[in-house]
């Protein structure tokens, strides 16, 4: 599976901290729980518009908060690019600055969502040159499918 048209950021490593990872994970977990709750409510009580509406409101809040986190990543970025349709991208990694490659992607498959988040230090990326693959092996979260 390849994630096309995903934004990939090159950020100073000081910006790609455990706090960023924890924040993104928190919002992704909220989104997972919202999706699970909505699916459960629809299955058990499809007439419960109030419960579905409440769950969707939580989802919108988590999505908005996640967008804020991603905008902070964007603001800290030295460079950024989008992957092509095959998920490939090019970034020039400066030799004199400690950096990390950061990317987030999500996709819906029917009622399910998959979330992907990567923080790969440039030292790791350079070990894999000429190509770095953003895969399940270097994700900052466990692959999640609801």
**pLDDT tens digit sequence for 50-103:** 777 877 887 788 788 888 888 888 888 999 999 999 989 999 888 788 888 999
Average pLDDT, the chain: 81
> What is the chain written as a DSSP string?
----S-EEEEEETTTS-HHHHHHHHHHHHHHHHHHHHHHHHHHH-TT-HHHHHHHHHHHHHHHHHHHHHHHHHHHH-SEEEE--TTS-------TTS-EEEEEEEEEEETTEEEEEEEEEEHHHHHHTTT-----GGGBSS--EE-
pLDDT on residue 146? 39
Number of folded domains that form the chain? 1
List the domain range (segments joined by +) for residue 24.
7-145
Quick check: is 60 in a domain? yes
- Quote the pLDDT of residue 110: 77
Whether residue 1 is contained in a domain is answered as no
């Amino acid at each position: 599976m390849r994630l096309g048209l995903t934004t990939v950021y090159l950020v100073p490593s000081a910006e790609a901290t455990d706090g960023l990872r924890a924040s993104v994970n928190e919002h992704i977990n909220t989104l997972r729980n919202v999706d699970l709750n909505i699916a459960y409510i629809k299955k058990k009580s499809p007439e419960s518009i109030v419960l579905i509406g409440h769950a969707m409101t939580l989802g919108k809040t988590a999505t908005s908060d996640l967008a804020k986190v991603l905008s902070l990543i964007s603001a800290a970025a030295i460079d950024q690019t989008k992957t092509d349709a095959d998920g490939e991208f090019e970034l020039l990694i400066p030799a004199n600055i400690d950096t990390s490659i950061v990317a987030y992607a999500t996709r819906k498959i029917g009622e399910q969502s998959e979330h992907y988040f990567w923080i790969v230090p440039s030292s790791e990326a350079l070990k894999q040159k000429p190509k770095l693959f953003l895969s399940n092996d270097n994700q900052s979260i466990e692959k999640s499918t609801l």
